[in-house]
Amino acid sequence: MSKFRQEYFRLRPSVSLTPLPQAGRYQFFLSDIRQSFDMQFADEIYITILRALDGSLTFTQLVQQYGLNDQQVRGLNKLFEVLCDRCVLEDFRIVQARANDPFRRVKNFIASYAPYNRLDSAWERVVNGHIVVIGAGGVGSWVVSLLAQFGIRHFTLLDDDVVKPHNLNRSVFGHGNLGFPKTQALAEMLAARKNNYYTVTSVSDKLESPHQLVDLLRQAVVTPTVLINCADYPSVSHTSAIVNDAAFACHVPYIIAGGYNMHLSLVGPTVIPGESPCFYCISHAMEQVGMDALEGAERIVKEHRNLGNIGPLAAISASFAANECLKLLVGQPYMQPTMLGKRGEFNFLTKKLTLEEYKLWNECPCCGRGVEK
């Protein structure tokens, strides 16, 4: 008999089952993530069962109701195994506890990647993640806002600035936050969204050195799980190098968010120390390309520049960083960060993201050792 005897399976509500022109062929469309796959059915009884699979009957009851023979029972068992693994079926008894969960939409979304019986462990990694966001300005404030919407509870925010009027055009701050530290404004925003849910450690310092960041990470009560660099002062290269060094010292993955001054449309890489190209690998490769294009040219730079930016591009940059963070937290085998070894430019006219791929640099001071030449 099947291992599924007591499960009350149903076709997940966000999955469509559609007949295709070829006889016996059907498409499963996971609408939340717009992914589909086809299956060929030799016996229409399985489609009859799927069409009525509303979570009201156990596997055993299904076998009885449809009068399945031994071969059909084995077939149904195998079919359910495959469809559970592909996130098409779920046990209604287990998922119904989600009905009143304020983050049920997020769980439902993740359930398109993680099978129903492994969703809780994936969710635990999300909700108990501790995200360290360095820089709480235009992109950083958006990143914190979006991660909190995922249900992530623990944040450490590092920023030494206060909210000014010209910040309001692309950060999530309002007039009521003017003059207050950005980290404090974000902590208050999260508290107003869900009482006593989020824990925020605010650090009103400028990012100065890897040692400073390492100390901060090691002192944290909840072990940090992801670092996100949203700081671009004095330059994004400067801050990213610091974050990289601290991340390697503490073996924590990090994301370079993008959307900075001068890089409004940049979508930065995600780095898992020792596994994917790091900041130095990517910088080295970029320098090689940049040197070809600009070799010998003198760069004219004005000091104290007021560069342009707009809110929607900050939101878009932050959305990519948030997605990457979720993928890191949910983790393999369900979600793989897209930006590992990649750097992107979002074209705000075509809305398309162009990705450049980078490899590990075999002379990288951080991850060069052991890289095959």
Partner 1 sequence: MKQRFLASTLNLRDGVEVFIYPPCEGKCQVLFLFLGTRRRLKIVCRHQFAVLLKEIAKDQSLEASLAQAHLDLDDCTAAFLNFLEGEGIVAFGNPIATDLLPAAYVEQYKRQMYFLLDVLKQPELAIAAQKRIFDACIVVLGLGAVGSNILQQLCMVGFRHFTIADYAVVEKNDVARTPYAVGREMGKPKTIAAKKLIDDLAFKPEVQIHDLVLTTQTRIEPLLQNASLIINTADEPYVGYTNIRLSRYALQHNVPMVAAGGFDAHLASLGELLIPHVTPCADCYATFFHENLKNWKPMTHPVQERSEWFGGLGSLSAFSAATAVLEVLSYFIHPDTPSAAASGGRGEFLFHDYSLDTFSVERDIHCPSCGEEEQ
Within 197-256, the residues that bind partner 1 by CB under 8 A are none
Q: Total number of residues binding partner 1 (CB under 8 A)?
A: 93
Per CB under 8 A, does 105 bind partner 1?
yes
* DSSP SS3 for 150: helix
Q: Which two tokens stand for residue 341?
A: 């070894």
| Chosen residue from 24, 180, 265, 273 binding partner 1 by CB under 8 A | 265
Nearer to partner 1, 251 or 305 (CB): 305
Whether the CB-CB separation of 88 and 30 falls below 8 Å is answered with: yes
Per CB under 8 A, does 353 bind partner 1?
yes
Nearer to partner 1, 280 or 346 (CB): 346
Within 106-125, the residues that bind partner 1 by CB under 8 A are 106-112
| Chosen residue from 6, 18, 65, 117 binding partner 1 by CB under 8 A | 18
- Helix axes 236-250 and 210-219, enclosed angle (nearest 10): 50
Element (H, E) at 270: strand 270-271
Whether the CB-CB separation of 76 and 99 falls below 8 Å is answered with: no
| Chosen residue from 29, 66, 180, 233 binding partner 1 by CB under 8 A | 29
Burial call 22-39: b when 16+ CB within 10 Å, e when fewer: eeeebebbbebeeeeeeb
Report the DSSP beta bridge partners of residue 11.
Answer: 89
Kindly give the pairing relationship between strand 266-267 and strand 342-347: antiparallel
Per CB under 8 A, does 83 bind partner 1?
no
| Chosen residue from 5, 25, 33, 215 binding partner 1 by CB under 8 A | 33
Residue in 83, 203, 55 with CA at minimum distance from that of residue 132? 203
The region of 32-40, 67-75, 241-249, 276-284 touching partner 1 under the rule CB under 8 A is: 32-40
| Chosen residue from 315, 331, 356, 368 binding partner 1 by CB under 8 A | 315
* DSSP SS3 for 157: strand
| Chosen residue from 42, 219, 234, 305 binding partner 1 by CB under 8 A | 305
| Chosen residue from 1, 23, 34, 234 binding partner 1 by CB under 8 A | 34
Per CB under 8 A, does 332 bind partner 1?
no
At its nearest, how many Å lie between partner 1 and the CB of residue 78?
Answer: 20
Report the DSSP beta bridge partners of residue 232.
Answer: none
